[in-house]
Amino acid sequence: MSQTRIRDYRVSRGLTVRELATRAGVSSGLISQVERGIADPSLETMRKIARVLEIPLFSLFQDEEPSKVAVIRRGDRATIGSPHSTITYSRASRGGSRLEVLEALLEPGSVSATEPRGHPSEECVVALSGCLVVEVMGERHELAEGDSCHFDSNLPHRFLNESGEPTRFLVSVTPPSY
């Protein structure tokens, strides 16, 4: 992640460090440390910052000048995890486009978020390995390997792995959002 990217978005929106911190519900010191590359924010903190800046989360990781064709090598993917849950996302698509494809790994007994949340997009989830529960508006949809679930992301949702094995899945989001 380019630490200056958060600063650039913040400044372009006319926000001070304190204003961004207050709106995101974090300390000014944390925002300052993140912008200077001293601290690595959690996934939830990054979501809050992206929401305040009104940008898709992975925009904070995108390339400056996208080419017409992008090959993203597994080892070069932008990756983000969360200390509050044991989920890791890696972006399989190019940043800055109208479609975002993420590969996720959700550890056994984990959830993607403590509370379901919505965002202005459309989503399709494909279970690659293991069992995945997609919870949308409190309704559970159990996916086995190869199954998929397509839904309006405005509806509060989250992902659960209730099994004893890690679950890998793809998430396609259009347009990318926070």
The reported pLDDT for the residue numbered 82 is: 63
Q: How far is residue 11 CA from its own chain's centroid?
A: 23
Residue 65 is given by DSSP the state: S
- For residues 82 and 149, membership in a common domain is answered with yes
Q: Is residue 64 situated within a structural domain?
A: no
Q: How far apart are CA 149 and CA 140, in angstroms?
A: 11
Q: Is residue 65 situated within a structural domain?
A: no
- For residues 18 and 83, membership in a common domain is answered with no
Cis status of the peptide bond prior to 156, with omega within 30 of 0 = no
Burial, 125: exposed, middle or buried (Cβ in 10 Å; 0-12, 13-18, 19+)?
buried
Neighbours of 166 (CB within 10 A): 15
CATH number at residue 10: 1.10.260.40
The reported pLDDT for the residue numbered 3 is: 55
Residue 150: band (very low, low, confident or very high) from pLDDT cuts 50, 70, 90: very high
Lowest mean pLDDT among 10-19, 76-85, 113-122, 163-172: 76-85
> Which whole number is the average pLDDT over 133-149?
97
Q: Is residue 62 situated within a structural domain?
A: no
Mean per-residue pLDDT of the chain: 86
Q: Is residue 61 situated within a structural domain?
A: no
C-beta of residue 87 within 8 angstroms of C-beta of residue 107: yes
Q: What range does the domain containing 167 cover?
A: 74-174
Residue 164 is given by DSSP the state: S
CATH number at residue 137: 2.60.120.10
The reported pLDDT for the residue numbered 1 is: 47
The reported pLDDT for the residue numbered 61 is: 65
- Closest by Cα among 45, 5, 34, 16 to 178: 45
Residue 11: band (very low, low, confident or very high) from pLDDT cuts 50, 70, 90: confident
What are the tens digits of pLDDT across the range 37-89?
A: 787 787 788 888 888 988 877 677 665 556 678 888 888 887 777 655 588 88
- For residues 95 and 141, membership in a common domain is answered with yes
Q: At residue 132, does pLDDT exceed 50?
A: yes
- For residues 101 and 170, membership in a common domain is answered with yes
With tokens 């989830």, the residue in question is 125
The reported pLDDT for the residue numbered 141 is: 98
Stated length of the chain: 178
pTM, 2 dp: 0.68
- For residues 35 and 88, membership in a common domain is answered with no
- For residues 80 and 137, membership in a common domain is answered with yes
Residue with the larger pLDDT of the pair 141 and 6: 141
Q: At residue 4, does pLDDT exceed 70?
A: no
Looking at residue 114, its amino acid is T
**Residues near 61 by beta carbon (within 8 Å), at least 6 away in sequence:** 1, 2, 5, 78, 80, 91, 95
Domains in the chain: how many in total?
2
